[in-house]
Structure 1
Amino acid sequence: MLISPTFSMLFFAMAIMMSSDGFFYVRKIFPFALLFFVVSGLLRAEQPVLTSLPLIDAKALVTLKTHCYSCHSQSSEKPRGNFKLDQLTSNFEDRSNRDAWQLVFKKMKSGEMPPKEKTKPTEKESFSVFDWINSSTKLADVQRLKEGRVVLRRLNNIEYENTMRDLLGVPVELRGLLPQDGSANGFDNIGEALHTSSFLMDKYLEGADKGLKTAIANLPQPPLIKKQYSLKDMHPVKTTTEKVFRHQDDGTVICFSSSAWQAVGLTSFYPPDRGKYKFRISASGFQSQSKPVVYRIDAGVMGMTGKNNLVGYFDAPGDKPTVLEFTEELEPRATIRILPYGLASAQAVHKIGADSYDGPGLAVQWVEVEGPLYESWPPPSHRRIFGDLPTKAAPVYNYSKRVEVTSADPESDAGKILRSFARRAFRRSVSD
């Protein structure tokens, strides 16, 4: 089923207009619009085109003209039942055209047509019509089977996430919200295996809402934070009962263990706002015979139920502290975690004690964080939807910092927003 862009835009424009200023409901309505544009543009299949259809058989045409056209043609004064045989074509791939010819077959076969007061065609004349309709129907069926049938296919979860990222301009993670895709022969993009359900549609709406919350700036620009931290103040270092960390007077912490539970999260830094953050880490190898010490960095929501991703593996030179700099997109309440790679187990270090341990370690002098970083405000993702429309403080019954998009001409601007968005979603021009 392919849903008309015009219908979609009209429906959602009307919904947006329900508010007094035209934009009060835009956040509630847009997930439905987004789902319409993404899904309806994908659930479609090309219809095979029949290129070798026969013309209407000459004998059948003579029979129809002789016995039927006087009551059922364009030239009839009042075509009975508004049924015009001369307007039908020989294209039996066209469902409505095919059904019309099948009706002709049924009416003539039963003797209902021509009516009693009209001259009946001979058996030979009737057979010419029946034979042509049957042979044309079979030919169309064979031709369609020969060309194959196209199975409607929805996007798999990865494709859906990438499409939403492309449309909204934000690196939002959505595949975790969706039920697992089916697969066929090891592939997860086969139409027969990608089922659609009401549960999936509900999750699509949830994903659209999450994407829009990420893309739309409903708050003032978050303040820029720039702060330097020492690992000695982090919760894993302060509270561990295992002697695996050595402290130095300048605030440097030396990590001797590669055990996963001794990874050091930046627990004093939990940003309240989503955005891009710049990290600078000063680190060096310690007691490593001038060889570099490898360490890994993860980013995300830490803890047993948190989801985090690998930023990368990095070398800390063994001779002097070196600053590593990288940027990472973080969700609210996310942070980073540092873990040396290839060092001793926590038990081996604890037996001796960190202060006496003479094996290699990772010395971290400090960690600096700056962000959230924005090239402009509102961010590009917001302007991709609303353009340069201004914002104002939300009504009093919302919390005071919230802002909303405003418009002097809501109906016109809503139409522009939806047309612009629909063009990107359908990747083609759309009608008004």
Structure 2
Amino acid sequence: MGSRLYRITFLFMAGCLGQALGQAEESQPSVVPTSQAEFERDIYPLMKDICFGCHGNKRAKAELNLEAFSANPDFFKDGRVWGRVAEMLRHREMPPENKKQPSEDQRILLTEFIDKELAKFDCSNPNVPVNPGRVTLRRLNRNEYNNTVRDLFGVDYQPAADFPNDEVGYGYDNIGDVLSMSPILMEKYLRAAEEITAQAIRTDIPPYPPEDAIRTKRWGTRSDDGAVRLENDNLWGLFREGSIDIRYPFRTDGEYLLQIDAYATLAGPELPKLQVTLNGEPVKTFEVKITEEKRHNFILKLKPGRGNHRISIAYMNNYVNNDSPDPALRGDRNLFVRGTKMIGPLDAPQPKLPESHRRVIVRQPNATEIRDVARESLNQFAEKAFRRPVSEKEINRLLTFVDMSLADGGSFEQGMQLAVQAILVSPHFLFRWELDTRPSGDEPIRELTDWELAS
């Protein structure tokens, strides 16, 4: 389980981080194409008109060829040259008095454009507002991690006691720029997630509601011609109309679920019909389109009352035709029952569970609501862990861990452990996000959301 956990949680974390950074990139369009277009449209023609006569390819006074610089401007590489150009324009030293002069608006246009481009690389430029860029993502330090885990699960685990010491900057251990993520720390996060969920979520829980896997041999039949017979210890075959029956002892009142694992051989114009009766009264009829290669549980609700009650599973529409000229109508239709389970009563008292378990799983699900309870529980827990509302796409990704556990024969609780482990190693949990979805520099001030302010 350990190595598998590492693989799946790394994949989940990478997916979350890629999605988040992708959204940030999509919301922040690159400034380079826009600046280049502005340069070619507004700046180059103006410089050609007032600068290239003295500082161009044909004539380069002071060994300065602005025409060559402007052919493919690189404000990072040639920052000193462009800075000098802006200063000469700003102090009206260029163009010389005896040369063509730009208008005041044109002079401002040139200097502001150059200042803006240089400010992308030099925050010391006094002529433009300093744009420090995006807020650094702040990783939870050890104390914050312990406190967050305590608040999420209601138990003081102190899982960060084994983590490497946090880096300190300017005397503080919660500065985003120094809270790096080393490989050893990531490994500690993975191990801590596994240990936390092992302590917080119980897996040794009896089924709720109570379940009784009815042994196949407990069913019987009143057919004496072999048309309904026990094929082996785990399979009843119904080869013509007939039924299998049981007198089942219901120990308490309440609602129960009868779960039937059945399949059929298909033939003729209709699907095989499986009917369930309680004390001779029809309860529900199913059409069985599942063949032997697949598994499917047919589930119905019963409310029999306390005591012994007779339950029957009947095959209602036998079909045999081996002589039809139509190949689609030839064949032998039969019904097979390979397992039954009684679940309930549905209102049985919930098992007593620790607070940490109840903080993650909102209630113990019955057989028909496992995915619904998993979705509700993960939505509630992930919203707290990520410190923001979660999307349906994120919840669906987490649900795959529950599905994977169930497909491998694990329990619902084991699946929830995997999903919560994925949450605890997600960058949305390990880091506090304050991402502005607007392009950088649109507004000098942005109000934090209630979620960002609270976290």
**TM-score, with structure 2 as normaliser:** 0.32
